[in-house]
Chains A and B, each alone.
Chain A
Amino acid sequence: MLRATLSAAILAGAFFVAPAKANNVNPWQQCGLGAMVFPDNGTAAAISNVIWDLGTTAVSSNVSSQETCEGADVKTAQFIQQTFPVLEQEIAQGEGEYVAAMLKVRGCEATAHADIVSAIRNDYADKQATDAQALYSIVESQVTSQFAASCSVI
């Protein structure tokens, strides 16, 4: 179900406009995140605890292959895609270890986390986002505008 939801999210993503970013990378479309992170394979889900795809044995913990797909924004997209259900819940509640980790991955200072989460909550309520890519768009839009000084430049 989770995979189905995320796959749907990826497909639905084709209709969203990527937020303006310095390197103009839409991780969903250019980095192949869907297939790379969650291959559409139910069997793999069932056995993933002992059998982990070793195609990702690169020590860097970064599954992306293109140079443009190795930035903090891509890692953030990857994080959101892999943890969306719990992340969405934490954003609604306004705190949690997953949302803190997401902002850390994006390179945002811990002191700014509370304000960024508050801004994301407002956007989330307005836009009624329902999938991983929509959440990514909201996060990226906030950290590259209002909170650009507190987060890494991509």
Chain B
Amino acid sequence: MLRRISSLLLCSTLSFSTYSASDIEQLAQHPTWLKLGHYKSPQELKSYIISDDFFLSPRGKDDPYRELEATINAFNKQPEKQCRYPARYQWLLQQGIKFKQPSSDCDELTQWREGQPIHSVSLVFASGYMSNPASLYGHMLLKLNRATESHNQLLDYSINYGAIVPDNENGLVYISKGLFGGYVAGFSDQLFYRHQHNYGEVELRDLWEYELNLTTDEVRFISNHIWELMGAKYTYYFADENCAFHIAKVIELVAGDKLTNELSPWVIPATIFSKLAEAEHNDQSLVRDIKFTPSRSSTFYQYQQHLNEQENALAKRIFNNAELLKSADFVSLNVQTQKKIIEVLFEFVQLQQLRQYESEHIKVIKKALVRARLKLPIGNEIKVGNYQQSAPHKAQKPSNYSVSALDVGSKTQSNLGFRLSYFDSLASDIARVPYSNLEMLDVEVAVRDSNMYLDKLHILDLESFNPAYTDWVNEGGWSWQLNLGFERDRTNCQGCKSTFAMGGAGKSMLFNNDRSLVYGMVNGYFGELASTAQLIDASIEVGVISDIYQDIKMRAAIERFYHKQTAELSKNVELVVPINQDTDLRLIYKSSEQTLWQLKLNYYWN
């Protein structure tokens, strides 16, 4: 009743409005109004935004009607509120509401939006970054495009969503607050050069930009809403209410619930791009264009392939001795070749600078390269048209169900499996770091002799082989692995169970045109180790990962434990045959005291 009276009062304040009280109530339940307030759902009318100053009504945070009422009142009485809430104003006008106050000029907003006009919207995917656990899954940005022929894209607006973390935060606090919601988060606005430089040049992460197929009015609506969101505070949750989720929510303001509906309880940026690529909008694909921006390391690997054997050798010698830039060996080359060699060296030197190798030498060589290059004519010699990297929406989906048939020591069993995320070392290389493994919550349950057993629970399984992709100095790094979990090891003994934490470090090397990798690692184990009944053990592991034919891959490894009583090596071989993007078939062989064969069908999903 109170709400009805308040609606009548509200309607009496609207100028020339044809809206009735019931219309206003309906409008407050409109999906777009709920999205503008970031209410969780029509069933859960509580906003994701926690800052009071985002709302005009003291009850606006969990009452979209009160917020609409307060907004309409504000637009009638305070014209400056149009400039604070331009998306709300734009939408309410489109709904036919007319206000007593004329439209404001909103100089600051107009300058921001129209100074160099925003003409389109893109979502940007930054590939995973193995050096930071919080970045393993990649990152998503929103870009408001302003680029024209004379205004390059580095000056586009780049909108980021992230948590506000104090400097020098303790690592454990960082993880626990990130996972369980102890950080305040929000949107920030930079020029795109800052992100492109940070990701591509500093963190060496490739970028993919998905430009959206939106109308001019929709682009304006999103831009206006982003303006509203600056300063709004959220609670950050790494697993689900993260950058990908909240940026997707902004796009859903015009695209409908195509990106975040039917999401699992965890949201990975690649999942949003997968949904984006499948989505339709205004009877067309939601994605208009996909553009790739290589990282510094991707650029170097492509560039150095433009040198022949002699040029490559000379470039490496120059890297060791910058004085050679003045030698006859170099200056007698034609200008094009000199430029090519310097361009490759520039890329390599930048990489070494980031990796902090021999910093004094790097400074000297960089200075010499700049000086030598300034003497040559303007213009790049090396042009790379096509990079081989595929867009992230083509990647294998992160979650997995599996069904297996096993034969262990002439007894059979069936296994059912589930993996939360994300990829293993035999998955497709698309949109991930090749020769790496990032699996979280990987579970297999066995059905054997009419009983059910937990066969495997890997909480975390990380591997990074980090091979050298060229024969230049300082390329590649340490290989490492980390695994935490439980396994029932039937190849060693009946009923053997291990609960363990393990870590390993070693080296790897590529061969067969980078399609195969051989590695060696020294591993340390701690826990209840079944095969030796020890608390601590160590092993040496040698293995090979190989791309056999097209996408058919194989991994084989042998491992010798220090405490093991017999001389028997642990042998593992796994062959994967992709059936399509969402399914693969694997044949696994393990042998120690007994032999295990496993035929496994994996289904991958978002």
Could you list which residues of chain A lie within 8 angstroms of chain B, going by C-beta atoms?
Answer: 1-2, 5, 39, 41, 43-54, 56-61, 79, 82-83, 85-86, 88-89, 92-98, 100-101, 104-105, 110, 114, 117-118, 121, 124-125, 128, 130
Contacts and interface: CB of A to CB of B under 8 A. Distances in A.
Given A46-B131, A56-B190, A93 B373 contact: yes
Nearest to B148: A110
A86 to B, nearest CB: 6
Given A1-B354, A2-B353, A49-B203, A56 B188 contact: yes
Interface in B182-199: 185-191, 193-194, 197-199
A57 B231 contact: yes
B41 interface: no
Contacts of A53: 164, 188
Contact of A94 (B152, B186, B193, B378): B378
B168 interface: yes
A128 B367 contact: yes
Contacts of B355: 1
B169 A105 contact: no
Contacts of B319: none
Contact of A47 (B165, B231, B367): B165
27 contacts: A1-B353, A1-B354, A1-B355, A2-B353, A41-B167, A43-B168, A47-B132, A47-B135, A49-B139, A49-B198, A49-B203, A50-B139, A50-B242, A50-B243, A51-B163, A54-B185, A57-B188, A59-B108, A82-B194, A83-B201, A85-B201, A85-B350, A88-B370, A92-B370, A93-B373, A94-B377, A104-B151
Contacts of B191: 61
6 closest Cβ pairs, A-B complex:
A94-B378, A101-B154, A110-B150, A92-B373, A125-B374, A1-B356
B167 A89 contact: no
Contact of B134 (A51, A59, A89): A51
Contacts of B151: 104
Contacts of A97: 152-154
B168 A118 contact: no
Contacts of A50: 134-135, 139, 162-163, 242-243
A52 B188 contact: yes
A2 B375 contact: no
A96 B205 CA distance: 20
Contacts of B197: 82-83, 86, 98
A48 B188 CA distance: 13
B194 A49 contact: no
A86 B202 CA distance: 10
Interface of B is mostly: mixed
B199 A89 contact: no
Interface in B407-461: none
Contacts of A60: 108, 112, 189
A47 B169 CA distance: 11
A43 B134 CA distance: 13
B380 A93 contact: yes
Contacts of A5: 353
B295 to A, nearest CB: 12
Interface in B233-286: 242-243
A83 B14 CA distance: 52
B198 A79 contact: no
Given A2-B354, A5-B353, A52-B160, 11 more contacts: A46-B132, A49-B205, A51-B164, A51-B165, A52-B190, A56-B190, A79-B193, A88-B370, A89-B370, A92-B369, A92-B370
**Which of B131, B153, B164 has the most C-beta atoms of chain A within 10 angstroms of its own C-beta?**
B164
Contact of A41 (B108, B168, B202, B242): B168
Nearest to A87: B197
B559 interface: no
Given A2-B354, A39-B167, A43-B168, A51 B189 contact: no
User: Most chain-A CB neighbours within 10 Å: which of B126, B134, B355, B363?
Assistant: B134
B209 interface: no
A83 B192 CA distance: 12
B193 A83 contact: yes
Given A86-B350, A101-B154, A101-B193, A95 B188 contact: no
Given A43-B168, A104-B155, A59 B373 contact: no
Contact of B371 (A1, A117, A128): A128
Nearest to A75: B191
Contacts of A83: 193, 197, 201
A116 B226 CA distance: 36
B250 to A, nearest CB: 15
B227 interface: yes
B129 interface: yes
B126 to A, nearest CB: 6
B359 interface: yes
Interface in B350-403: 350, 353-356, 359, 363, 366-367, 369-371, 373-375, 377-380
B155 A105 contact: yes
Contacts of B155: 101, 104-105
Q: Which of B167, B231, B370 has the most chain A CB within a 10 Å cutoff?
A: B370
A140 to B, nearest CB: 19
B54 interface: no
B292 interface: no
A49 B129 contact: yes
Given A1-B359, A54-B186, A59-B227, A49 B132 contact: yes
